[in-house]
Structure 1
């Protein structure tokens, strides 16, 4: 970690800072020459899909079709750094638990399958054959329903399909995944509203839209390649209206690193035309205020014979529940809407005025909407806003949830879900000759609850850093050693590999960017991006080591060691030729994956989107308005934004991380260097609490549930953030999030509005 320095950043997103950051990480990972050559194939038809975010891959890619964070993810995976057996001979797990997340992963690629030796407190080598045999023996001795098969959002469609099938052949639907922690609110809210669990926007819609809404999505750090279509829209004078508590540079100004003219002249593009710093948890009130203004404007227009503000023909033909929603909006009190949203009536009416003139609007959102107690209602409210002017099912319009992990949406498409009703179980049973389990499995929160209660006997992790990503970190780490069997499939060392069960294995796998050679030759895999387009991905660089297996080979090895032989499940044939896995996926999901092998490597294809054709697969047969149950997004914690003794904590990412992976200690856009232990506070809140800029503080969760949650050592940084709110980095703040503090019905951890107390501390010596 370098020297801590905090100073304002005046530059744009992108620009020379982005280029410097990319070259810096390639240099650190000893890939300055080969890394740049590899990046030229990122997100290209004959190359590989980015291992970072799920943003869309264009049909006509740019010469450099990657962003700063995507380049960091590639450098992180293809690093020349390795973790030899001697590393584990030198370091006990107890010692390594004192290392930072960054330092653990920075050691490089794992090379050998390992078994935990508790007596030595070390990982020791084991053969693949012995690892599979011992894991299989443990699983055969257990009740399948006491086991959890977790999947991170980076596994390919092929691996994900095999993983879900393995779990169901074994006898359970306990398949929590990354979606449970981010966009499950989308997966619950959108089907109820429009009959589809995914967005309706394609990349081409950005060329046809005349208005863009952005809610709770930090494009500059989380999906920077989206800045290209946003910049193009901005240059066409398309209004971009942003709602986000923090001012994020990527939503303000952008210099395109792909443009020599912009780089040489330092020219910038303004992104947002309006930027509204909504309070944490204030989105329902803000959207309802805009809807109220829209309906009032329409009422006045109808009375005077003027231009309608609403699309009455669409509402009558395609929606259900408008009259009740409109009555609720008309009755809403402006003073209460202002208090809850943190926005003025004038600001909300200004948004409505612009929206009333739009013919095709896109609604973009991220976890700033989904990770709240009201996460599902937040999503439904955005749909309400879009339905007012018929902005679902026409060119240039629609809803766009921005997914995180590169295939987190795709793995759901092929069966990674705890909900049996989302999987063609009858078809699966007929295809493979077994009776699939019909009982609803455990999602992430439920799996954590079961682990803490001692009910989980085995946890198998297909990638990820589960124990670091989930809430209630302290209780989870305390309970984890009580699990009988823990198995982690990974490319690099992380915190979850240092907290283990009674019997534990660490299984290193090939990365997506590496050449995967099987019996039939080099293999390719597939992924689904956030616009529902399914792409092929080809490995390019040599494997990090000779002992690594591919993810499909590892899943097949585990399944064969655990399950009785089944001639209908050709595990070995699938590993030998991934085309056979894709044939099996097509057989299970023929409507989605027709001619899978042919189409995916011929430019890719979009999965069917009935809502784009205004075919509403809902209970009413129409798109549904919803009436919000409350304007208080966190009504059950006993706190309120105006209470002087508590602030609402928003967990955020830096632009030097992707989820739990920490690439470094730079958050360039927020002016933070050399540390992650900072607390961004409104100046007035800090003054009210007697905290100067630079003060050292601790945070504790401001709820009464007989548990103490506290994290110490934050440095106060005065920041442009609404009063009553503060922000700090994830996953450092996860110990402050109660496990029960999750979105209603979707159970997504409510990490964007956590009530906390701030305590002054003496600075470290």
Structure 2
């Protein structure tokens, strides 16, 4: 494996052009031509992610106050085109197809049928969805909820729902009587919310966009910028061009962190030149990040012992505790142990550590490669440890920066979407609305899956998303959906979760963010929070796909009114008629965070909600930043046995979460169907396999249940030894619901032990 980012393994596929460039333009054009979008899509893209415009649903990367001429990326364009398709999936479609028949369709083909147009009720007698009215739907759903114990129900939130919708959703849940408010964060970055808060007192990252203009080193761990947040490539390119050293730790060589050709740079597009992003690219073993970080820390401490002047002693004395324990752990950990656990050599790690020791301002960036492990929280804590040694949190050009996926997944937590009552505005809701919110801890995603299996979850209401297909252990959990007493799915397009039907099942179509939302007081704007804690307003302008669609706030209010006893303080109709009144409620609930919310809604670049850790105020139990020691050198559940591999699940370049736009994984040099398993050529030979051979993967975590995915074709790829990769969500049946981070319960999608059966 090459360490230099621009050195590729020639005997396995890779993308030679780098991220961006004409390939990105071609990828957008392919979806544009194949999807037949509405006439206004180009105008929507023109103002996408700009002040006063529409905020993209594709990712949570921040929106600059001085936008580029085109402030959208390939995947952002795909998402908008996908939303604004002219294809329609109405009652006539469901009259032709039973639910049983649709279960055999691919995920791509289900969504390609287009936008849902009418409220639908599942009819078990005909095995079909049939048209209904909104009044009938609300009345029946309300009656179903009133007949159940509130604590047996779950209100799930997709990461796309706005701050306004999310606030009303959590208010409804708590007025009804539960804290079962899992969201997509439970499946991806909940490890950040729990693990980061434990060590620095903040549940979100500490960086703002300007920090990327001032740093001289960036350390990347487990994040695929080119596919998951391509607009981030602009500040990374600028950083690399001014001499910032970028080092990446990732099992897979992702094109976006190798090189980037800016589609908005005429010279680069014309000449075919690209900017090298990472100076060094180290293919750490899955779960080996803790060991790699200990290696960096060990060398930094050695340099301090040899020469002095490396650690920021004043900062450490004033702001941290635990250094002595970390120092002892690093000294007793041998380089042989570090190399074995990380898959990297001392010779690879030492130069990075020495560069870190010389750097003035360093940012640590990470993604789900760190969070989706059994010990993911400890991986994050180790990255914090490294940054704290030299005071790289709480001054310009420094910080820790988790990169979120869904466009408002961070903001939903900010406005009360949480299963943890201690993080919810319980007292404010009591004072403002005369409620008596429950104090019991609610369900995470993992606990919802367990509740489905044991029958304690009786109703599931989904505010967007494809929950049943996105969770772990899908093959075991999916049959349990049929036993629910009530299942309500609020959605824009048909997906697999809608086909796992119970007798009382409803499919309610809503507006997309780009569409005009007209209520009693006129067009309504919504808001969301990006990865860097800035709040942005978004205004849709496109004609809705159907006159029968309702906005998410209107649907939430309709169900709430049909469910709850009358309360003169719960003004659902007023709030739906004017979303600014919902923002007033949010401001009243969190005045320090959302002061002058409505006045600041269209602030260029968004308005910053603040972060105490950025100001070196540590809201931890000790009042200091905690330097911690990990329980093991790996974030995996344990050592691999003979014939076992670590499975990493991936999203393709033609995919957003469970939405599959097509079958090209261009940025990895792969053009195939999605039923493949990647492994390096040496591993293929050692396993006695051949490329193209069809195999079955079997989960090696023994808890009494056999889990397998068959029909996967062996594909040679540049991966570390004893590492396999397969696509998400196709590989989700292999991840046990019990295999998750110990603190956050985030499923171990990036660290599941498996065996291969030929």
Question: For the superposition of Structure 1 and Structure 2, which TM-score range results when normalised by the shorter chain?
Answer: over 0.9
Q: What is residue 305 of structure 1 aligned with on the other side? A: none
Q: What is residue 620 of structure 1 aligned with on the other side? A: 622
Q: In 1, distance between residues paired with 2:469 and 2:481? A: 12
Matches within 5 A, 1:200-599: 200-302=206-308, 308-599=309-600
Task: Note the C-alpha offset of 1:424.
Answer: 2.2
Q: In 1, distance between residues paired with 2:635 and 2:246? A: 25
Q: In 1, distance between residues paired with 2:41 and 2:266? A: 21
Contact 1:23/1:32, CA 8 A, preserved across alignment? no
Q: In 2, distance between residues paired with 1:33 and 1:457? A: 43
Q: In 2, distance between residues paired with 1:653 and 1:543? A: 30
Task: Note the C-alpha offset of 1:385.
Answer: 0.7
Task: Note the C-alpha offset of 1:33.
Answer: 5.8
Task: Note the C-alpha offset of 1:31.
Answer: 2.6
Q: What is residue 123 of structure 1 aligned with on the other side? A: 129
Structure 1 unpaired stretches of 5+ = 1-5, 303-307, 761-765
Q: What is residue 740 of structure 2 aligned with on the other side? A: 742
Matches within 5 A, 1:138-157: 138-157=144-163
* Aligned partner (choices 648, 653, 656) of residue 655 of structure 1: 653
Say which SS state the counterpart of residue 362 (structure 1) adopts: strand
Q: What is residue 72 of structure 2 aligned with on the other side? A: 66
Say which SS state the counterpart of residue 203 (structure 1) adopts: coil
Matches within 5 A, 1:103-182: 103-182=109-188
Task: Note the C-alpha offset of 1:591.
Answer: 1.1
Task: Note the C-alpha offset of 1:332.
Answer: 0.9
Say which SS state the counterpart of residue 56 (structure 1) adopts: coil
Q: What is residue 80 of structure 1 aligned with on the other side? A: 86
Contact 2:123/2:503, CA 8 A, preserved across alignment? no
Say which SS state the counterpart of residue 179 (structure 2) adopts: coil
Contact 2:13/2:717, CA 8 A, preserved across alignment? no
Q: In 2, distance between residues paired with 1:366 and 1:360? A: 20
Task: Note the C-alpha offset of 1:8.
Answer: 4.4
Q: Does 1:183 align with 2:189?
A: yes
Q: In 2, distance between residues paired with 1:136 and 1:725? A: 48
After superposition, the Cα gap between the structure-2 partners of 1:628 and 1:72, relative to the gap in structure 1 and judged at 3 Å, is same
Report the number of matched residues: 746
Q: In 2, distance between residues paired with 1:231 and 1:754? A: 34
- Deviation string 1:665-695 (CA, Å, 9 cap, x unpaired) is 0100122224111111011111011111211
Q: In 1, distance between residues paired with 2:449 and 2:85? A: 33
Task: Note the C-alpha offset of 1:488.
Answer: 0.2
Q: In 1, distance between residues paired with 2:724 and 2:711? A: 15
Contact 1:26/1:32, CA 8 A, preserved across alignment? no
Q: In 2, distance between residues paired with 1:253 and 1:184? A: 30
Say which SS state the counterpart of residue 390 (structure 1) adopts: coil
Say which SS state the counterpart of residue 95 (structure 1) adopts: helix
Q: In 1, distance between residues paired with 2:37 and 2:561? A: 38
Q: What is residue 632 of structure 2 aligned with on the other side? A: 630
- Deviation string 1:188-207 (CA, Å, 9 cap, x unpaired) is 11111111100000001110
Q: In 1, distance between residues paired with 2:729 and 2:425? A: 35
- Deviation string 1:404-438 (CA, Å, 9 cap, x unpaired) is 10000000000000000001211111100111111
Q: In 2, distance between residues paired with 1:673 and 1:97? A: 25
Q: In 2, distance between residues paired with 1:423 and 1:33? A: 42
Q: In 2, distance between residues paired with 1:34 and 1:504? A: 34
- Deviation string 1:530-586 (CA, Å, 9 cap, x unpaired) is 000000000021000000000000000000000011111110000000001101111
Q: What is residue 751 of structure 1 aligned with on the other side? A: 749
Contact 2:38/2:84, CA 8 A, preserved across alignment? no
Task: Give the TM-score, by structure 1 length.
Answer: 0.97
- Deviation string 1:23-73 (CA, Å, 9 cap, x unpaired) is 111111213863222211110102111111000000100010000111111
Q: In 1, distance between residues paired with 2:310 and 2:246? A: 19
Task: Give the TM-score, by structure 2 length.
Answer: 0.97
Contact 2:44/2:54, CA 8 A, preserved across alignment? no
Q: In 2, distance between residues paired with 1:610 and 1:454? A: 42
Contact 2:158/2:465, CA 8 A, preserved across alignment? yes
Task: Note the C-alpha offset of 1:632.
Answer: 3.0
- Deviation string 1:474-493 (CA, Å, 9 cap, x unpaired) is 11111110111000000000
- Deviation string 1:701-725 (CA, Å, 9 cap, x unpaired) is 0122221111111111111100010
Q: In 2, distance between residues paired with 1:321 and 1:708? A: 42
Say which SS state the counterpart of residue 124 (structure 1) adopts: strand
Task: Note the C-alpha offset of 1:740.
Answer: 0.4
Task: Note the C-alpha offset of 1:759.
Answer: 1.5
Q: In 2, distance between residues paired with 1:294 and 1:666? A: 42
Q: In 2, distance between residues paired with 1:566 and 1:406? A: 33
* Aligned partner (choices 5, 21, 32) of residue 15 of structure 1: 21
Q: In 1, distance between residues paired with 2:501 and 2:714? A: 35
Say which SS state the counterpart of residue 49 (structure 2) adopts: coil
Contact 1:26/1:35, CA 8 A, preserved across alignment? no
Contact 2:195/2:743, CA 8 A, preserved across alignment? no
Q: In 2, distance between residues paired with 1:709 and 1:697? A: 14
Task: Note the C-alpha offset of 1:7.
Answer: 5.4
Q: In 1, distance between residues paired with 2:37 and 2:84? A: 8
Say which SS state the counterpart of residue 461 (structure 1) adopts: strand
Q: What is residue 205 of structure 2 aligned with on the other side? A: 199
Q: What is residue 697 of structure 1 aligned with on the other side? A: 695
Q: In 2, distance between residues paired with 1:585 and 1:498? A: 35
Q: In 1, distance between residues paired with 2:255 and 2:634? A: 29
Contact 2:536/2:603, CA 8 A, preserved across alignment? no
Q: What is residue 712 of structure 2 aligned with on the other side? A: 714
Q: Does 1:38 align with 2:44?
A: yes
Task: Note the C-alpha offset of 1:9.
Answer: 2.9
Structure 2 unpaired stretches of 5+ = 1-11
* Aligned partner (choices 577, 580, 605) of residue 607 of structure 2: 605
After superposition, the Cα gap between the structure-2 partners of 1:395 and 1:13, relative to the gap in structure 1 and judged at 3 Å, is same
Task: Note the C-alpha offset of 1:644.
Answer: 3.8
- Deviation string 1:457-510 (CA, Å, 9 cap, x unpaired) is 110000000000001111111111011100000000000000022200000000
Contact 1:220/1:227, CA 8 A, preserved across alignment? yes
Q: What is residue 48 of structure 1 aligned with on the other side? A: 54
